[in-house]
Chain A
Amino acid sequence: MRKMIKPCGLHCIKVKHLGVVLGQQEILKDINLHIHCGSLNAVIGRNGAGKSTLIRAVLGEMPHTGIIEFKDRENGRIQKLKIGYVPQNLNIEKQTPVSVYDMIAAYHSNVPVFLKKSKKMKERMLECLKIFQADHLLNHQVCNLSGGELQRVLLSMAIMDSPNLLLLDEPVSGIDQKGMELFYQTIYQLKEHYDLAIILISHDLEYVKRYADKVILLDKTVLRQGSVKEVFQSQEFAQVFH
């Protein structure tokens, strides 16, 4: 992960006319977004507004219409977009013999995790885990981590490949108030010091108010987007969160 003093602000990600249809049902319609690097963008909306679908569509897991492009603003060159994703939770049970090393290597390495630990991989992991003060967790079992620890490990994993865009599903369970505060502070520092854009699905309007640069109010389509003030004082916002 390349550290920057300031994000360059010269890259941007454009989502144009994105739509998702599942069976007969239209889940997302004509989504247009313009995301700058170095900004924290919070997606808010009711349950079932299509927030998670939006993330899955951007990741390419859901078939969608419209285009997503990643541009260098200076010369207009279109580049390949690298996305880091932080899921809300993992499908893991108690007693599962998967260590933090195993999990990260499963996603980032071709050296079979049941054979041996790759030294090079281990060093890369530690470098990223250190950013989130999680390097001591490398040999812990994933299923024994606390909610906050797991979140930090997942974040470290997401930025390993220096992504241009970080997609996050805000954790909803297993994290207390203090942990939540820490989570938002970490995200904030991340966007301040590294050259990437962040899209965060959030359920907690208080934190959005304090930390987001831009808010996207979603309900099947983008009802309103703009600064925190613009969106929170809009009529659409009042209707959704009355």
Chain B
Amino acid sequence: MEIFSWLQYDFMKSAFLAVLIIAPLFGIMGTMIVNRKMAFFSDALGHSALTGIAVGVVFGVKDTNISMAVFAIVFALLLNQISSRVEASTDTVISVFSSCSIALGLAILSKGGNFSKYSSILVGDILSITPQEIIYLVFIFAVTIVFWGLGFNKLLAVSLNRTLAGSRRISAAWMENLFAVLTALIVMVSIQWVGILIINALLILPAASARNISGNMREYHFFSILFSMFSGVLGLVISYYVNVATGPAIVIFASIIYFATYGWGRKHNL
């Protein structure tokens, strides 16, 4: 069929598969990130990827993916700890850490003037994903589904009131840290395909759009996943025909959905 002609290339097939995994994954995670007002947190995590690579380079780690993931996890846990202890407002604390880490990363990677080697991570390139890397995505997707099934209620309980959750023997610190680690892992596994500059848009936009029109958790998840997959697939196909980068194309569609749902929600007073 003519409309599926883009699927004749292997790189498009792989990219299509990757989008089918990343989109629902981001749709699911986004619901909680938006609910817990962690948009800035996930953004900082994305930026910390550069530092993770830099740390790997400094210590001579062969696979910088590993140093990136380890650094992101440490960074996420540290942010959690500090924002719960320091009196200053959370977004200030995150901003301080985020700027500090990105400056370090940029300084180290630009030493000797060869930063261009790493600049692809800023925009990401989903068309270059390999089957091996798709397996990583499937793995993290499975982990997320299990965590969501077992832990979502508890996570929601903690986000509504920590003391109340404590009175039901739900450990706020544990749930928050687990969620932060999972977010860190997901951001790191997908950042090469999505890019630092737009990864947060993909995490936030579908959930924020769903929030505009949802009244309960079932609708919230359903719409978030739906919007995420719709803009993901449409962005991929359109980017192929129009010949623009895939990530930005996806974000543009996700943004259009956001404004549409915003208007719809306002009109119907949701």
Contacts and interface: CB of A to CB of B under 8 A. Distances in A.
Interface in B195-224: 210-212, 214-221
Contact of A98 (B148, B154, B216): B216
B169 to A, nearest CB: 9
Interface of chain B: mostly helix, strand, loop or mixed:
helix
A87 B164 CA distance: 7
Contacts of A98: 35, 156, 160, 216-217
A114 B161 contact: no
A90 B159 CA distance: 9
A97 B216 contact: yes
B141 interface: no
A170 interface: no
A159 B153 CA distance: 19
A41 B139 CA distance: 53
A113 B153 contact: yes
A102 B167 contact: no
A60 B172 CA distance: 13
B216 A99 contact: yes
Interface in A98-114: 98-99, 101-103, 105-114
B139 to A, nearest CB: 21
A103 B218 contact: no
B263 interface: no
B111 interface: no
A167 B168 CA distance: 13
A115 B164 contact: no
Given A92-B160, A98-B217, A102-B217, A59 B166 contact: yes
B218 A90 contact: no
B152 interface: yes
Interface string A138-181: 01011000000000000000000000000100000000000000
Chain B contact residues (Cβ within 8 angstroms of A): what range?
A: 20 to 34
B164 A114 contact: no
A16 interface: no
A107 B168 contact: yes
A189 interface: no
A61 interface: yes
Say what secondary structure dominates the interface of chain A: loop
A56 interface: yes
A113 B217 contact: yes
A97 B210 contact: yes
A96 interface: yes
Given A83-B167, A106-B153, A106-B154, A96 B211 contact: yes
Give the interface centre of B160, B164, B170, B210 by most chain A CB atoms within 10 Å.
Answer: B164
A131 B183 CA distance: 41
A91 B159 contact: yes
B20 interface: no
A114 B152 contact: yes
Given A60-B167, A98-B217, 19 more contacts: A61-B162, A83-B167, A87-B163, A91-B160, A96-B35, A97-B215, A97-B217, A98-B160, A98-B216, A101-B216, A106-B153, A107-B165, A108-B168, A111-B153, A112-B152, A113-B152, A113-B217, A115-B149, A115-B218
Interface of A: 56, 59-61, 83-85, 87, 90-93, 95-99, 101-103, 105-117, 139, 141-142, 167
